Structure 1
């Protein structure tokens, strides 16, 4: 009860009456089968188009080798043609299906493709260089040592050496090196040529594996390259004093010993060290500062300094040092971007050096080794991290590429390489090995080239068993096979296309009977005659499944020929289409089958006389009618109970039960009295009225179509004392017009006597 403790205005919300019940979806399907690739662990994945299915699970499957094919296709009791699963999925979408949850089946012995990287340093050539050239533009200079370092230029196609030379100079910003000797042959980017520093080590550093088992992973390639994640400015040492920016007050001749600049704040010889560094015309010079008699400030160069001629007015700017004395620290702008163990590259103009961060305190960065050389405030400290590139091309030619930047080789934080790939990559997973180093000169690298091709993936189709289809229950998100469909409450139609194994189809039926919110579509063995399909049907008696005969004929794009395909995928799509266009109360029959061959799209002809034998036994026929095409010509379940012999009646009740169940959860723990009973009656009655008006219930009035009772007549005192609210609902479903009979009789005209 609300409390009113002080005077004022109180605004309150109250319930205005019964709460609406929203009808659940009945067109979402779930299928279990073997795919070319895709996730084999976790919950079933939703796909909404066949293209999305191909992107996630790959394309069509080739027929397995004769031994495996014959072992499965020739087993009448526990066999199947599971390699037709992608064609069944295509049939689902061809026939109007919109939402499909797919659970991939893999053999327990299947293995993912894998590969291990060694160590080394390479940089791909970024621009072609002609024979005789001495300059090479590279993808990066990370890990390079600078002037005097020996490098090897190698071909990207066969790994043959093009040239060995020494770096005469470099430009880190332009990623360019100048060689001491000219190239004896051209260097090509299209060939994948690259520069290698030092030798490659065989010590394992990173192990990559395809994200899921199967031979598909043998087409996956991966590489790890060093990248600059951040360029951070070096800050001046506090002992350096203030900055000044001045200008030349007179022209300066080439190689002159002195220049005169205007006096500006901060440019005071009495307060500055006798020697400072200044930027003149884009070049850094060490100069001595003095005050001439006329009030100008004079900068004196060391003896023998070379410089060009300068004109009056040229800017002169002091460049302060970042490290006045030798040590292991530098002040760095944006130091918060760094972390303990981070690898950075420093450039003093003649040498590139690598250091590891030991600690970061505010803007002071401490390295694990002394800082080499002298660095200035115009210099940059480059944070070196990793980039992982992956690529995959499926047999149909479709390709997938991924790029992950700013990864840490060491550590398992949010940006750690194995962690990021586990969370984001659709192709690979990585494991750090003891030999992994953060040194750019020993970066993870394959034994040859720059891309690692995964290998030794195994589908283990020869060890696939019916147990892999039925699955195991490891808990939510860890279920396999048919059992995994339990993780998706939205599934209302389910199938295991192409598998007629008694164990598998019994497991599918049991799954539907236990959950009581879904319906199964079963496939018979292919090639059965009338006696064979009737014998196949004898093993089932359930109101939660339907059987269709015979198989269909569709085009397999992977081999460009017609093949027989199981009907369950196409029928699940028809269920979805009829539900959307007409409603779940409409029998999914007398409907055109799409996605099959236009002529002879049904594997075996079924005539009316044939169906006279099949229909009473609950076997739904797929037939061809001239002028009407290929149609579904049956709507019966596999139940011996005549009350549940029609598919649409069974599925209508599944729809009503699930909708009422989900729409009345608010009732739980409410006070169990007359007020609640009235709300429940009105809530359910409103929902059933909507269903009746949609044509799903028989009767000219709502009272003829249904009744709802929830009062003292449905509950005893014992029920109330034990917390039970009992609501009795009766509905009159609309049965399909399965037999349309027109009785015609002949009448003769009788003479009328006045």
Structure 2
């Protein structure tokens, strides 16, 4: 009850009338099967088209080795053709399916492909250069000093091209060489340079994100990269910023220049050493007393420079430190963190420094002294890493990924290991004891720049068993096989395409019977004759599953050949299409089968006389009709109870039960009395009226279609005292017109008397 304790206006929201019940989806499917790749842990993954399936789980599977193939395909009791699973998924989407949850099955002996990096310092050539060139464009200079001896390699075969020395560099990565190149280099070929021989000490291990031989096609590259470039701040005692310009032309190597007098160039107010920046070069100068509006700047003896024109900008650059020391004031120091690796670029030297602490006023303390002279033009670059991955699917298509600004060590978010674990579809990373944050010992493959994960990857199909399809219950998010479909409440139709093993199909039926909110489509063994399919059907008696016969003929895009495929994937797609176009009450039959061979798309011809034997036993036939195409011609469950012999009736009740269950959760713990009962009756009646109006229930009026009782006639005092609210609902489902009968008789013309 609301409280009214003081005078005033109170605005309140009051619930009025019954709460609506929303019908649940009936076209969401779940499938369990062997895929080329994809996650094996966690909940089943949703895919909404076949391209998305290929991106997540890979393409079509090749037929396994004859020994493995025959062990499964020739086993009538516990066999299957599980390698046809991708064809079933394609059939689902070809026939109108829109949402499919896939759970990958792997052998318990399957292993993920791996590869281990050593250490070294490598930088890729990013621009072609001809033989004799004295400059080279590199991808990065992290770990370099600016005066390094480098060896140039050809990327295609890792053959050494030559050795030279860096004499100068620019912030863009272009370096000047002491000796010209002895041969041309090409960026597209993957040419690169390294500063010293690589060390084989293991530093970082990459592994494929899931088991299987597919991982041997994965390549990964990790490179040092700059996450932020932060300017050094001038020492407060250095005075203000001063910008002036030449007042007269300066000859080449002139000993002094004349600049406009501006505030801040008074020699009496300047520190002992003054430095200027002219044409991107830094010079030490002596400042003469201003006279007639000009200032004379004199260079030390022996200074060389280019000729300069009048008006050229001359800028005084201030020192950022008063001598070598472990501290610098850095603008944007909040981007740094303790333990961060940085590279200080003073314009003539590159120095690697590790951050020890970040204090007030942007003062950063490093683990070593900075160079003697650091100016405000210097940049402190935060060094982290970039990981690139790539994979080309043998069946077509490719996946590439790039992850930037990653810390090298640790497994938290933002690190190489943590980021790949949460975001990469291809690889995982593990740091090893030999890893170092020193850029000169960066994780590097033994040769080249890319690491191919060539070790240990195996599908181990010879160890695959029916137990892998059934799965195990390890709790939410940790279930495997069929059991994992329990994690997805939205699944309404499910199958294990291509597997006819009794253990697997029994587990699938049990799964549906226990959850009571989904329906299974079973596959028979391929190649069965009429007597064989009848024998196959005999062990089943369930209202939660249907069986379709025979198999279908489809094109395998990976080989270009026509192969026989299990019908369950195509049939579930027809279920979903019928639900979307007509409703779950419509029998999913007399529907054209899409995605199969245009002629002879059904593996065995089923005639009317054959179906006369199959239909009463609950075996749904797939048939060809001239002029009508290839169609599903049956809609019966595997139940011996005639009340539940039709697929659409069983699935209609699943839809009603699940919708009412989810739509009335608000009733729990409400006061169990007449107002609640009335609200319950109205809530359910409104929902069933909507269902009736869609044609899902029989009857010319709502009263003929259903009834809802929730009152003293459905509950005793004992029920109420024990917290039970009992609502009795009766509905009249529509049954399919399975047998359309026209009775025609001859009518004799009777004479009429005039």
TM over 0.5: yes
Q: CA deviation at 1:8?
A: 2.0
CA 1:553–1:252: 2 relative to 1, 3 Å:
closer
Q: CA deviation at 1:331?
A: 0.9
Aligned to 2:335: 337
- Partner of 1:381, secondary structure, is strand
Q: CA deviation at 1:411?
A: 3.0
Matches within 5 A, 1:603-622: 603-622=603-622
Q: For 2:291 and 2:462, how far apart are their aligned partners in 1? A: 97
- Residue ranges of structure 1 left out of the alignment (5+ in a row): none
Aligned to 1:569: 569
Q: CA deviation at 1:317?
A: 2.1
Answer yes or no: is 1:174 the counterpart of 2:153: no
RMSD: 1.5
Aligned residues of 1:239 and 1:324 also touching (Cα < 8 A): no
**Bigger shift: residues 663-672 or 176-185:** 176-185
Aligned to 2:49: 49
Aligned to 2:446: 447
Q: For 1:10 and 1:630, how far apart are their aligned partners in 2? A: 68
CA 1:179–1:261: 2 relative to 1, 3 Å:
closer
Q: For 2:389 and 2:225, how far apart are their aligned partners in 1? A: 16
Aligned residues of 1:218 and 1:454 also touching (Cα < 8 A): yes
Answer yes or no: is 1:141 the counterpart of 2:144: no
Q: For 1:617 and 1:178, how far apart are their aligned partners in 2? A: 85
Q: For 1:120 and 1:252, how far apart are their aligned partners in 2? A: 47
Aligned to 1:460: 460
Aligned to 2:84: 84
Aligned to 1:581: 581
- Partner of 1:580, secondary structure, is helix
Q: For 2:731 and 2:514, how far apart are their aligned partners in 1? A: 23
Q: For 2:436 and 2:682, how far apart are their aligned partners in 1? A: 70
Cα deviations across residues 352-379 of structure 1 (Å, max 9, x unaligned)? Answer: 2211111111311111111123110011
Aligned to 1:486: 486
Q: For 2:461 and 2:280, how far apart are their aligned partners in 1? A: 68
Aligned to 1:395: 394
Q: CA deviation at 1:9?
A: 1.9
Answer yes or no: is 1:357 the counterpart of 2:355: yes
Q: CA deviation at 1:407?
A: 0.7
Matches within 5 A, 1:111-150: 111-147=111-147, 149-150=148-149
Q: CA deviation at 1:753?
A: 6.1
- Partner of 2:199, secondary structure, is strand
Aligned to 1:263: 261
Q: TM-score, normalised by structure 2?
A: 0.97
Q: CA deviation at 1:337?
A: 0.9
Q: For 2:712 and 2:249, how far apart are their aligned partners in 1? A: 110
Q: CA deviation at 1:458?
A: 0.5
Q: For 2:2 and 2:23, how far apart are their aligned partners in 1? A: 34
Aligned to 1:193: 191
Aligned to 1:665: 665
Q: CA deviation at 1:251?
A: 4.7
Q: For 2:314 and 2:55, how far apart are their aligned partners in 1? A: 60
Q: For 1:36 and 1:261, how far apart are their aligned partners in 2? A: 72
Aligned residues of 1:205 and 1:432 also touching (Cα < 8 A): yes
Aligned residues of 2:266 and 2:290 also touching (Cα < 8 A): no
**Bigger shift: residues 433-442 or 266-275:** 266-275
Aligned residues of 1:691 and 1:697 also touching (Cα < 8 A): yes
Q: For 1:180 and 1:204, how far apart are their aligned partners in 2? A: 33
Aligned to 2:321: 323
List structure 1 runs of 4+ shifted beyond 6 angstroms: none
Matches within 5 A, 1:94-243: 94-147=94-147, 149-167=148-166, 169-243=167-241
Q: TM-score, normalised by structure 1?
A: 0.97
Q: For 1:63 and 1:47, how far apart are their aligned partners in 2? A: 24
Q: For 2:629 and 2:703, how far apart are their aligned partners in 1? A: 41
Q: For 2:743 and 2:712, how far apart are their aligned partners in 1? A: 49
- Residue ranges of structure 2 left out of the alignment (5+ in a row): none
Aligned residues of 2:132 and 2:182 also touching (Cα < 8 A): yes
Q: For 2:298 and 2:651, how far apart are their aligned partners in 1? A: 96
CA 1:537–1:374: 2 relative to 1, 3 Å:
same
Q: CA deviation at 1:69?
A: 0.3
**Bigger shift: residues 194-203 or 124-133:** 124-133
Q: CA deviation at 1:313?
A: 4.1
- Partner of 1:270, secondary structure, is helix
**Aligned length in residues:** 752
Aligned residues of 1:107 and 1:459 also touching (Cα < 8 A): yes
Residue of structure 2 aligned with 1:247, choices 245, 248, 256: 245
- Partner of 2:570, secondary structure, is helix
Q: For 1:310 and 1:286, how far apart are their aligned partners in 2? A: 17
Residue of structure 2 aligned with 1:287, choices 285, 288, 302: 285
Q: For 2:272 and 2:583, how far apart are their aligned partners in 1? A: 93
CA 1:291–1:75: 2 relative to 1, 3 Å:
same
Aligned to 1:10: 10
Aligned residues of 2:128 and 2:185 also touching (Cα < 8 A): yes
Aligned to 1:530: 530
CA 1:250–1:128: 2 relative to 1, 3 Å:
closer
- Partner of 2:339, secondary structure, is coil
CA 1:282–1:740: 2 relative to 1, 3 Å:
closer
Q: For 2:279 and 2:127, how far apart are their aligned partners in 1? A: 30
Aligned to 1:749: 749
